[in-house]
Structure 1
Amino acid sequence: MAQQQDHKDPMPDLNKVNMPLFQTKYTADPSPIVVGDTLFLFTSHDASPEDIPDENEKNSAGFFMYDWLLWSTTDMANWTEHGAVCSLKEFEWRSRDNGAWAIQTVERNGKYYLYAPLHGHGIGVLVADSPYGPFKDPLGKPLVWQKEHWDDIDPSVFVDDDGQAYMYWGNPHVYCIKLNEDMISTSGDIFVLNPADGVMRPVKEEGAKINLRIPGSQKANWKVKNYQEGPWFYKRNGKYYLAYATTCCPEALGYAMSDKPMGPWEWKGYIMRPTERDRGNHPGICDYKGRSYIFGQDYDLMHLDSYIHHERRSVSASEINYLVDGTIPEIPYWLDEKPMQQLHWLNPYQRVEAETMAWGKGLKSAKMGIPNTGVIKDMPASTGKRNMYIYDIDNGEYIRLRGVDFGAGAKQFSIAASATGSCTVTLRLDSENGPVIGTVKIGVTGSLDTYKSFATKIKGANSVHDFYLCFGDVNGEVHLDYWIFK
């Protein structure tokens, strides 16, 4: 567990350390989904102090979560932010304005179904025609709600090869129910996993579940060990997997396997062992472009600023492998791994959104025309895909892109920006102190809603390099939309 002291970690070498994926916002509870050649990642959103409406709570250590975010990548190195796709506001029957916890989004028959916990008030579902939304509530009530307890968090949904869909969820017990083909109604009983034998039984049966809070020594022969929360249910090569956050706290990433979608389940070990560098965790796993990836959460981004604990988490990822029997070899903690391999080079000769980056700590992002006050009543309904911009730019900050292929050589660079002030953008290769290939001066455009193109000639940009947009001489407000090379 992080020490309760004010402390800042030195900035690591980004070429050597597997850092969190996103820096413009605090994120948690990663939920990947592959659509065509793009990997989309839905996350929950830990509010920054300025986004917490209650002045008395701005520095609280607790959870402040109001909406859900979306990100995408095609190369596993550079990620594009798409902002909030929906919020608690979509569920008019909710009981609280805080608690936008772990979701999962799945696709079926051209529709996208987002399953969300309304803790203490069941699990709801939203539907959209696109992973970007807009998402709408088709039911106006919970999909599942066990009113006798508060275990209703962290839904995970999977559609099997035969068309049958399942939803797993729960803390500290894990439950399952079958979903109908419409994905917004259920079929049959709710089942609960008994960790002593790995069997799932209807909750209405006597003795269906037993207390998980037992001494660790008595768990030695249990079929499913250490389950805590955050189930992630998937299938690979005919084997069913139930990954989850184990123990508490710290929470590790463990998993069980089965030959059937509803068990019996058998504990197979840790994917990532517990570490005092972390507290909570939540797995999301998917295959993408011939590789398999696990996403989880940590406090590594916050620890660059402070070790005084707050629930301000960050999402990290790692590639995983499988042995012949389907089991998963353990992986080191995120920071003990090298950065993930980039799957293809980035093309700088097509429009690249400013919110596309491999690293951009200190910067912020927003959807154009949508102020985010952090207050549920002021949030817009789910908007669908909207253009975004980068703002809150300070001297010394930068945007890093990994693996940019300049080919035979770039001649010109232009960036679309709006400003009521000014900023100098120094373009560098390989590091924030690397060779300069050009400099752009952004000036006043008339208003922050008026975007203009600012250009410069380029010299020395060819072949593949990491690319840095470094900011200096910042005066007043500057917003960045996109950039392109010629």
Structure 2
Amino acid sequence: MKHLRMTLKLIAATAVAFIPPLLAQTATPAPGANALILGSWKSQVEFDAVKITCGKETVLNDSFDRQQSGWKPESGNWQIANGVLIQSSAATPALTRYAFTCTSPDYTVDVRVRKTGGAEGFLIGFGAKDERNFYWLNLGGWNNTAHCLEKTDDGQRHPIGTSSKGNLEKDRWYNVRIEVNGKQIKCFLDDKQIIETTDSGFTLPPDNDLVNFGHALIPDMVADPSISEIDGTFYLYATTDGWGKGLSTSGMPVVWTSKDFLNWSFEGSSFPPDFDLKYWAPSTIMHRNGRYYSFTTLDGIITVVVADSPLGPFVAPNGQHVTKATIQPYQIEQKSSIDAEVFTDDDGQSYMFWSRRRAVKLKPDLLSPDGPMITIPTSRQGYSEGPFLVKRNGIYYYFYTLGGGESYQYAYMMSRKSPIGPWEAPKDDIIATSDLDQKVFGPGHGCFFSPKDSNQWYFVYLEYGRGGTNRQIYVDKMNFNPDGTIQPIKLTKTGVGALRQLVDPLPNLALKRPVASSSVLPKSRVDLRKDQNLYRIEAHTSENATDGANGTRWMAATNDTAPWLCIDLGEVRDISRTETYFVKPAAGHAYKIEWSLDGKSWHPYGGHDDVIFRSPHVDRKSIRARYMKLTILNGERGVWEFRIY
């Protein structure tokens, strides 16, 4: 009778949890913590003669002649009978775990196993740091057609190495051996090597939120941006992201404004208090007949709303508040219709463009179409959204997206005749795509604009961010060739800085200063959907609140009921103002700020007990202090930036 033998040599790693620099706490996991996992997928299996050897010490030697403590079934139906460990269900997966500690950096696992029924084979896991980080060898997977080594990293499972074709026979006992030398892993089936690969284990990369998230334009999660410049002020309209329920919801609609394109703020909702719709992808604002028009997607329906001010409050053209009960769909085909954008030509004629390459002329009042819908003939096919149209030097540019998620791209067409064609496709029509070197993934639904009295154009776009509807927006320069074609846009996360004179040139005293906090949310890995190159870790460290970057944030632990930040200015300084940019500001915050000369005796500085919807929260008071402490009383437990002037 043949035997199944697995040989594993793993170098144990010890990870130290992040502790704020001013807190006298330390935390280190137990050295060599590990676990063996036995299991199956859509199959019934039997295990026998399980042995774990750490160096020269035998940690486990279980022939299942009797019940042995330590095994923890997690799923499936497990029992010991007739000298074997039996799994009799068709669970996907069925798992049982044996935790152990190995004082040696090397260990060996031996097992004897067979399949007794079902569609697939069996699983043998190892190197298990916890429930979200482990390897397993999947033998007879994919409907019993292949053998593959898989790694579950922060809850996401993916294959590593090259899989091997093969199947498992019912009721046959197999010999398997797995050898791991440092980062090298070799897998053998009946003494024949079937897999060889290298892997770096489960240690998360160094904390570098600045590289991963960088200098976002807005200190919040927003997407689908449109920008207008009106009377010396930039107005940014966007989907409010980060509400935690995907496309089933959205955050409160707000209008971000800036005088210099660097420092942005909003105050309250841009709709009346009874607004109760999902708010997506508002268009560039249009001024006509003394009113401001916005074409936005409300509960998946393209709708036009108007206001007397670009800040709102926006209502229906007839003055009625817009709610689920009163929403008035725009007079176009509403099937899969989102992401409306309006362009007005030099002759005053306006056109609307929306998802799936559709377009239509509009009547002078902008309230209805003026003619039939047309479809823009693009050189690339497939689903498309986020359209945008601009005119430069007599050439019309139609921008459209391809794909989605971390694989978003932007392409374009050109017309030298009119906003609705005829169209030509430039040779290099993809102008924005993921850049692995710059850590930019999925540049998607955005806008293209040139500030007044400037020849420089900019691309403002959403980036994959933290995945799903947890995106942020970035800006990069867009340049043209002499023939009018567009150069591929160099995507970065460094930002473009101020486009106008700075509103307040005073230095931020908190910038790069030491900061402590009550707690820090553990590191997390951003979920990927399509691109295996995306490996993004968010560390949530306290220093993120003083690094001067809108893309990084401090987040307190979920069980922290009184989260706080404390900044040490290094010496007593004159202070006149603080600005606090909270995470999820459209949900509102209450907070308090205190000051101290010695870090022991604290005095009130600012804040409020009532929940207010704005960003930033500004407090003004002239004092001399060395330490400033922010405590969140209500609202999301996190801060993008805490500035002191």
TM-score, normalization by structure 2: 0.48
Matched, 1:273 2:433: yes
Q: Which residue type is aligned with residue 35 of structure 1?
A: I
Q: Structure 2 CA distance, aligned partners of 1:83 and 1:236?
A: 35
Deviation at 1:423, TM superposition (A): 2.7
Matched, 1:456 2:623: yes
1:187 is paired with a residue whose SS is coil
Q: How does 1:390-409 map to 2 (within 5 A)?
A: 394-395=564-565
2:534 match: none
Contact 1:30 1:283 in 2 (8 A): yes
Q: Structure 1 CA distance, aligned partners of 2:575 and 2:215?
A: 31
Matched, 1:359 2:587: no
Contact 1:361 1:397 in 2 (8 A): no
Match of 1:19 among 212, 215, 225: 215
Contact 1:19 1:334 in 2 (8 A): no
* Cα deviations by residue, 1:102-156 (Å, 9 ceiling, x for unpaired): 5442222432101012466x42100011110011112552223315xx2311101
Cα gap change, 1:444/1:288 in structure 2, threshold over 3 Å: closer, same or farther? closer
Q: Structure 1 CA distance, aligned partners of 2:265 and 2:607?
A: 25
Cα gap change, 1:441/1:292 in structure 2, threshold over 3 Å: closer, same or farther? farther
2:240 is paired with a residue whose SS is strand
Q: Structure 2 CA distance, aligned partners of 1:424 and 1:110?
A: 48
Q: Which residue type is aligned with residue 252 of structure 1?
A: Q
Q: Structure 2 CA distance, aligned partners of 1:106 and 1:164?
A: 12
Matched, 1:123 2:123: no
Cα gap change, 1:251/1:444 in structure 2, threshold over 3 Å: closer, same or farther? closer
2:262 match: 77
1:295 is paired with a residue whose SS is strand
1:377 match: none
Match of 2:388 among 232, 235, 243: 232
Deviation at 1:251, TM superposition (A): 1.2
Q: Structure 2 CA distance, aligned partners of 1:471 and 1:478?
A: 20
* Cα deviations by residue, 1:353-393 (Å, 9 ceiling, x for unpaired): xxxx86385489xxxxxxxxxxxxxxxxxxxxxxxxxxx97
Cα gap change, 1:456/1:472 in structure 2, threshold over 3 Å: closer, same or farther? same
2:495 match: 339
Contact 2:474 2:495 in 1 (8 A): no
Q: Structure 2 CA distance, aligned partners of 1:246 and 1:12?
A: 28
Cα gap change, 1:225/1:424 in structure 2, threshold over 3 Å: closer, same or farther? farther
Matched, 1:184 2:367: yes
Q: Which residue type is aligned with residue 115 of structure 1?
A: F
Contact 1:128 1:134 in 2 (8 A): yes
Matched, 1:424 2:595: yes
Unaligned runs of at least 5 residues, structure 1: 50-57, 92-96, 196-221, 303-308, 350-356, 365-391, 399-409, 427-438, 460-469
Match of 1:133 among 312, 318, 333: 312
Q: Structure 2 CA distance, aligned partners of 1:248 and 1:68?
A: 23
Q: Structure 1 CA distance, aligned partners of 2:608 and 2:346?
A: 56
2:286 is paired with a residue whose SS is strand
- State the percentage of identical aligned residues: 24
Match of 2:331 among 140, 144, 150: 144
Contact 1:156 1:167 in 2 (8 A): yes
Unaligned runs of at least 5 residues, structure 2: 1-151, 156-203, 319-326, 507-547, 556-561, 581-588, 613-617
* Greater RCO, 1 or 2 (C-alpha within 8 Å, sep 6+): 1
* Cα deviations by residue, 1:28-49 (Å, 9 ceiling, x for unpaired): 0011111122221111012433
Cα gap change, 1:35/1:9 in structure 2, threshold over 3 Å: closer, same or farther? farther
Q: Structure 2 CA distance, aligned partners of 1:445 and 1:79?
A: 20
Deviation at 1:420, TM superposition (A): 7.2
Cα gap change, 1:180/1:275 in structure 2, threshold over 3 Å: closer, same or farther? same
Deviation at 1:188, TM superposition (A): 1.3
Q: Which residue type is aligned with residue 10 of structure 1?
A: D
Q: How does 1:276-291 map to 2 (within 5 A)?
A: 278-279=441-442, 281-289=444-452, 290=454, 291=456
2:40 match: none
Deviation at 1:73, TM superposition (A): 2.2
Cα gap change, 1:27/1:397 in structure 2, threshold over 3 Å: closer, same or farther? farther
Q: Structure 1 CA distance, aligned partners of 2:382 and 2:635?
A: 49
Q: How does 1:223-262 map to 2 (within 5 A)?
A: 228-248=384-404, 250-259=407-416, 260-262=418-420
Q: Structure 2 CA distance, aligned partners of 1:271 and 1:117?
A: 26
2:174 match: none
Count of aligned residue pairs for this structure pair: 359
1:310 is paired with a residue whose SS is coil
TM-score, normalization by structure 1: 0.62
Tell me which moved more, 320-329 or 447-456: 447-456
Contact 1:320 1:328 in 2 (8 A): yes
1:293 match: 458
Deviation at 1:333, TM superposition (A): 3.0
1:78 is paired with a residue whose SS is coil
1:229 is paired with a residue whose SS is coil
Deviation at 1:245, TM superposition (A): 1.2
1:157 match: 342
* Cα deviations by residue, 1:11-55 (Å, 9 ceiling, x for unpaired): 4558x98522223x3110011111122221111012433xxxxxx
